[in-house]
Amino acid sequence: MNENINILCVDDIAEDKSNSRFKLVNLISRSNHDIDINIRHPNDLEEVFNEAKVFDLVIIDYFLEKHAKNGTKFKHKGNALIGLLREQFTGTPIYLISADMPKCKGFIPSDNFENYVTDEWLADSELIKSEVLSHREIKEQTINNYDDLHSLLQTPEGSKEFIEKALPNQIRRKISKSSSPYLSDNYDLNPKINILLSRWITHELLLYPGILYNSLHTATLLGIDHDHFNQTLANDTDFNNAAIYKGVFKDSFEKLWWKDAIIEYLYSQPNAEDNMLGTIYESALKILKISDENIAICHKCLEKGANTIAHITDYPEKEYSVHYSCSVQDTSSLPIPYFDPQRVLLEDK
Ligand SMILES: [Zn+2]
């Protein structure tokens, strides 16, 4: 794979050095990678289109009106500008950049963009490179059937069924249509399957627990204290060979493990048959010979035996191991089929 990365950054070229775009350019110029960033004024886009260059990523400052210099009038702004870029660069991911990132997060529909240029991004050129190459891998993969998708995700055998069931209908239809001789030429124009797939993978599959689990969810599934898990199994070669996520965008997320492969690993241990108990975590504690002090403790009642995950009401981003009985299902969030329903800590009465 040619690893030269071409990024188009559409920005009104504000001189403010605290500007995120300025930080991005700085980072890229300091990095050892072959990342070429082409910064263009939104009014010069026709020129860019005529150059017919292929970009791996388009970065756009959405709030152009805020930064406009005196007397500048933009030909296109906001959604019209995005539409123009989508039309011209079909299948190229678009990321939002802004000097004011935290404010953007809540109110811009994520369907308009594949992602935001976050502070983590602006600090790590390795991450930029790896993420852009994941987008390119998806774009270059011909997806005629589910096996093509599994090769991008490196899905273990036992998890394939879950991926195929959880896949949104819009993508499923594209996959089955692409192998049909009756597919009309313009069916596949917009949004391209690579865009739909990268959105689903990053906005759902790798983000929400269900098919894949982060370290807290994995530890709790096995009944193990989170720190103990991080110091032991999380770095175990056999465990990681069996269950860790190695597919596209793996560097853009914390370590993740395939839930089905975690369970399969557990029950394939030599002593598994003699230690099968009622639930996964009860069996896991026996099979993995977890000592008493390393059993997961419930964040709510502080007793041993936490066996599910919950968050505090209104703070879904901070999750804790708790007892099932010390938490209730979060009725304020709609469960996504094939992903774990969210739970909240039981409120004090
Ligand atoms: Zn409890």
- Give the single-character DSSP code of 42: G
Ligand 1 mean position to 35 CA, how many Å?
50
Coil, strand, or helix at residue 302? Answer: coil
Residue 348 CB neighbour total at 10 angstroms: 5
Give pLDDT tens digits for 156-188.
999 999 999 999 988 988 887 655 555 454 444
CA of 219 to the centre of ligand 1 (A): 16
Q: What angle do CA 302, 306, 310 make, to 5 degrees?
A: 95
β-sheet bridge partners, residue 297: 304
231: CA distance to ligand 1 center in Å? Answer: 24
Nearest to 297 by CA among 208, 229, 231: 229
Residue 104 is predicted with a pLDDT of 47
Distance 333 CA to ligand 1 centre (A): 22
Q: Can you count the helices (H) and strands (E) in the chain?
A: 15, 11
CA dist 187 to 64, 177, 269, Å? 33, 9, 49
Token pair belonging to 177: 């249509």
For ligand 1, the distance from its centroid to the CA atom of residue 226, given in whole angstroms, is 16
How far is the centre of ligand 1, averaged over its atoms, from the C-alpha of 259 (Å)?
Answer: 23
Regions of the chain short of the pLDDT cut 70: 1-2, 13-18, 62-72, 99-111, 177-190, 348-349
**Which token pair is 124?**
């790590």
CA of 321 to the centre of ligand 1 (A): 9
Q: How far is the CA of 317 from the centre of ligand 1 (A)?
A: 20
- The residue type found at 252 is S
Give the pLDDT confidence score for residue 331 in this predicted structure.
Answer: 87
- Write down the pLDDT at residue 182: 55
SS3 96: strand
Q: How far is the CA of 278 from the centre of ligand 1 (A)?
A: 19
Fold of 5-130: Rossmann fold (3.40.50)
Dist. CA 227 → ligand 1 center (Å):
18
| Phi/psi of residue 191, nearest 5 degrees | -75, 145
Alpha-carbon distance 14 to 21, whole Å? 9
Question: What's the 294 CA to ligand 1 centre distance in angstroms?
Answer: 16
Residue 332 CA, ligand 1 centroid: distance in Å? 22
Q: What is the pLDDT of residue 99?
A: 61
> Do 309 and 217 form a contact (C-beta atoms < 8 A)?
yes
Domain spans, the chain? 5-130, 141-205, 212-345
Ligand 1 center to 307 CA (angstroms): 9
- CB of 59 closer than 8 Å to CB of 97: yes
Distance 298 CA to ligand 1 centre (A): 5
DSSP E strand stretches across 162-306: 212-213, 257-258
CA 256 to chain centre: 11
Contact (CB, 8 A) for 137 and 248: yes
- Per-residue model confidence (pLDDT) at position 332: 85
CA of 220 relative to ligand 1 center, distance in Å: 13
Ligand 1: centre distance to CA 311 (Å): 13
Separation of CA 302 and ligand 1 centre (Å): 6
- Taking the centre of ligand 1 as the mean of its atom positions, its distance from the CA of residue 214, in whole angstroms, is 21
CA of 285 to the centre of ligand 1 (A): 18
Nearest to 99 by CA among 18, 28, 40: 18
pLDDT recorded at residue 162: 95
Q: How far is the CA of 194 from the centre of ligand 1 (A)?
A: 43
* Dist. CA 329–CA 247, nearest whole Å: 31
Q: If you measure from the C-alpha of residue 110 to the centroid of ligand 1, how many angstroms do you get, rounded to a whole number?
A: 36
Burial label for 269, CB within 10 Å (0-12, 13-18, 19+), is middle
**Separation of CA 242 and ligand 1 centre (Å):** 31
